[in-house]
Structure 1
Amino acid sequence: MGIALSANFIRPGRVGGVEQAFYNLVLGLLDCGANTTIVGGEGRLARGMKENLVARGAIVDSKAFVNNRFLAEEMFAATESRDFVGTVFPNYYLPMTKNRRLGTTITIVHDLQHLHFPQNFSLAKRLWLEKCIPHALRASDIVVCISDATRVDVEANYGAGRSRIVTIPNAVDWSRLEIRDGGAQPETVEHPYVLSVAHHFAHKNLDTLIRAVGEISKTRDDLKLVLVGQLSNALGSGSYSNRLTETIREGQLENVVRFTGLIDDATLGRLYRSAAVFCSPSLFEGFGLPAVEAIGLGVPTIVSGIESLKEVTLGRAEYVSNPLSVDEWSARISRAIEDPKNEHDRQLDAARVRAAYSRSVIAQKYLSLLGAGNKGTVG
């Protein structure tokens, strides 16, 4: 018997870091030799990803289900006739339909953003989360939270439920950020620059970072700010991108700040490696993948001093105690550029982070939950 993972939640490029976390986990399971089946309607996986996973040995079952994610999940649970040792539902929702053939059911809860920043969600989405999270806590065999910060938040707001709640962080795949032999050379930014990677949601606090870099640019006109991530109009998250544009206009920072939108992995990797400093000014995270990626590439990294980011960066970043303070951000960034951590220490930080979040290490934690222990395979 193998392990199944539902991909029915994926809308390529529109579900944030959860999509990449899913791919990283699947690749980790394949690294461990696990018999891995991905279930999801046609078009759920990013372009080229299906072929990549099949080439690695995954079974990709593009069932002809309805396009609606939740009906697709229920139909999968109701009609599946294969026996799995376990099934992972990677994005909050556990089907109401029970099917013993699915084996041990694992539901992943990433964060409780809908409670802390309800303005980012429609009323329907908030009501849905308020139904499906308690259901997952009652009916899943195991609920996985991607950080202790999320686990504590879940237990404080919903109680422990009947499910076993454990923390397993996201897997990180640094290999996707490499430039492949024969591939096109991604564009670079010639000036020294601060990098941030975040979709344009208000809680990402990018306006504070823009103002902070704007303050530095008054005395250092060669410094740029590069913001990678989906604009808010493509996310259905309101007008936050317009607010950022207005902040840039008010500060006359049109020649300082650059939006890239979504970019390919090789370009993102190049931008990470060439950055003078990486910053994550976010006010709320369940995990914070870009900060971990940056440290793993040896980039000086500054993040908000919120619990989740302090946890997942393993103490290897610099922490801003008041994430809304333009002055604190500008001072931290200036110091990081003028007196950066030495190369040796940054490489030690990178090695520790890579060891903690490697695909196979994280996948093995899931296999252990399913009773595979150190055998490394479910088959």
Structure 2
Amino acid sequence: MRTVSRSAITLAASALALGLLTPTVASATSIEGYSSDVQQAAVAEIASTEGITPAAAEEVLRVQSDSVETLNGALDQLGDRQAGGYLDDSGKPVVNVLDEATAAELAPSGVAARVVDYSAAELRSAREALEAVPAVAHTAIAVDPEANQVVLTVAEEADDAAAADLLAAAARFGDAVRVEHATGGLHKAIYGGEAITGGGSRCSAGFNVNSGGQLYIVDAGHCTGAVSQWNVGPSVAASFPGNDYGLIRNDTGSGPGAVTLWDGSTQAINSAGNATVGQRICKSGSTTGLTCGVVQATNVTVNYSQGAVHQLIQTSASVNSGDSGGALFAGSTALGITSGMGGGSSFFQPVVEALNAYGVSLN
């Protein structure tokens, strides 16, 4: 099994908030689906972190959209014979397989195959064993497909005695489980202030949606569950913990299908999709503005002090308190809602799940 230099479970992130008062949409750019500002920010982040030229970074974004579709098709084709997949640093799809014969089967499709030690079933079994241990606040459990491992992250604020049972469970699986230690704790991202405000708290607006002609905002459940009335309208639904999505009735009369980029321009949002490990993303929030990064893991369980939240997206995009509820996206595709942060990573509720739960559609 090869050693990877980038951990898929580092704990930091960023989130993108939907602007209610910025109707100007940036002009089209050379990368389909990306506004000029988002393209510039994403290219700068890729070039910096990967040490490549801006032109090479632009190529990563160009191939990424098709690569996600190709990867999902290959995973569906192989079924139980695959052990997960991801996008590599160039934005191209890689599928983990268990033998050379299966790798050869993928060759005609142009998808890179990598033979790994652990099957999806083995990693799932290890993950389920860790999640069967009583939940410990300030810990997270995820699968790192690049390393072909389950990753248990234990932050400094976790109770040592409680975490000992988790660590003992992890040790039983040898190198199928990797333990990482993070500074600080894992916290939902909300504090008193402005942006969308209510009850002395501040969050960031998420994606504008509608149902039957009524405008709503899909936001973080820990925001809508804590505040009944916002400056844009009342909270009408909340799911937290377990999930972290909620719904705010938008009484402003304005609900553009776009997110603010904090410079007077916006990024149009035309569709919703699921995040893929290795995918280059951006976020915008009322605290940190527009930031970009990479998806480090999906289907992550994060144990906040208020309880566990499951199936989150973990990224390297920068977020901070007040960014909660903001939107995560890749070009014009909505991916997630800002949930929390810790140890240098950020965590997002998948937006498709939230849209389906409330039966709403993107504006």
TM-score normalised to the size of structure 1?
0.28
Q: Which has the larger radius of gyration?
A: 1
Bigger relative contact order (CA 8 A; separation at least 6)? 2
More strand by share: 2
More helix by share: 1
